[in-house]
Amino acid sequence: MSLTFNILNQTDAGGRRAELILPHRTVQTPVFMPVGTAGTVKAVPQDILESLGAEIILGNTYHLYLRPGHEAINRMGGLHKFISWPRAMLTDSGGFQVFSLSALRKVTDEGVRFRSHLDGSSHFFTPEHSMDVQIALGADIAMAFDECTEYPAERTRAEESLRLTMAWAKRSLVHFRAHQQDVPWLHTLHEDRVPPVSILRPGSDAPSQSLFGIVQGGMYRDLRRESAERLVEMDFDGYAIGGLSVGEPRDLTMEMIAEVLPLLPPGKPRYVMGVGYPDEIEQYARMGVDMMDCVLPTRAARHGLLFTSEGRLNIKGKRYAEDQSPPDPACQCMVCHRYSRAYLRHLMHVGEALSATLNSIHNLAYYLGIMERVRASLHPQAS
């Protein structure tokens, strides 16, 4: 069996409080997933992520495929074991990075040939290969191989991109279903130091990975609808809405999400990829989005931008040079509990590595805290 999704409560606005039962963790949703690009949520150790309450993190297939290589990770027991992360993980398909980072891409119906952004070496990714790489990495959730349609895109371009993504979704699913039992932890999950709590109910099949399909279609409502309907027919374990937050105005993002959500099966998890700002993730969660991920909290942190209950705070500002107050007076995180704005500014100013760590911890605590409050408000009786 792959995942189980139990909805505990649903609001009139569509927001769902649920639990997503995965092989390595029962994840409380709606959930924000910190992005662990190359086997690390940049600058933040795994034990701190756990203490912040992160239940599921992302790994980027493209980066891990190039270095250290999915076969090496597989030989070491899979990504969970390699990075010592006992909780749930999700890997993307590699598609987004192939299209955004690599050079000299050549896309055909078969797949995409590209050159590594690291050393120029040539690689060929097909839907089947993306599945093999993701199965070798062994995250709890894998993603179908897709082409993220850029913005803006002419209608003919969005149609052609969607045609490719739908064909690749089907091939991803067929190959995944034939090989999903090949995950590196299939026979060792029982022995792991963290018991696979919920998924191994008596009489259940062995736990396995899940595969999500990705709705594309650019900013065209009818293409989005077509994409969603065709993916639902294919019967994935969950559904993502991709190709958003790619430079379009925010009401368009909202419009696309609102168009697609009612078309997705209510009993399966819904994931909006690559969003967003703090107010956005709250808004989308209240509309019925169950999962979101974004590099923003950690990337902004490394540039000195803190998200706080009082708004955005650029810690590099000279006015914080002797400011003894915590970064966010309303925040209970370990950084706000212990350090001052003046100290964080100093670390940033002199280029100390601790700067990225402390700023990232606060921003992640802030994002995870938002979702905790949203969850509580979606199901007051359970909190």
Q: Is 364 in the site for Zn ion (CB under 5 A)?
A: no
Burial of residue 148 (CB within 10 Å: 0-12, 13-18, 19+) is buried
Strands 25-29, 31-36: pairing is: unpaired
Q: Which two tokens stand for residue 130?
A: 């993306």
Find tokens 């209950």 and name the residue: 309
Per CB under 5 A, the list member of 24, 175, 362, 379 interacting with Zn ion is 362
Contact (CB, 8 A) for 8 and 18: yes
- Site residues for Zn ion, 76-135, by CB under 5 A, read none
Nearer to Zn ion, 137 or 344 (CB): 344
Strands (E), 119-253: 122-125, 141-143, 210-215, 238-241
Size of site (CB under 5 A) for Zn ion: 7
Per CB under 5 A, the list member of 49, 333, 347, 348 interacting with Zn ion is 333
Nearer to Zn ion, 310 or 322 (CB): 310
Contacts of 3 (CB under 8 A, 6+ apart): 20, 21, 22, 140, 141, 210, 237, 238, 269
* Distances, alpha carbon 82 to alpha carbons 69, 73, 193, in Å: 12, 6, 14
Nearer to Zn ion, 34 or 94 (CB): 34
Nearer to Zn ion, 44 or 335 (CB): 335
Q: Which of 132, 140, 290, 293 is catalytic?
A: 293
Nearer to Zn ion, 202 or 311 (CB): 311
Per CB under 5 A, the list member of 336, 344, 364, 371 interacting with Zn ion is 336
CB of 326 to Zn ion, least distance (A): 7
DSSP SS3 for 252: helix
Per CB under 5 A, the list member of 189, 331, 347, 356 interacting with Zn ion is 331
Is 293 tagged catalytic? Answer: yes
* Distances, alpha carbon 247 to alpha carbons 150, 175, 187, 250, 323, in Å: 9, 33, 43, 9, 35
Quick note: the x/- pattern for Zn ion over 286-325, rule CB under 5 A, is ----------------------------------------
Strands 270-272, 122-125: pairing is: unpaired
CB of 317 to Zn ion, least distance (A): 17
CB of 28 to Zn ion, least distance (A): 21
Binding site for Zn ion (CB under 5 A): 328, 331, 333, 335-336, 362, 365
Hey, which residues are catalytic here? Answer: 92, 293
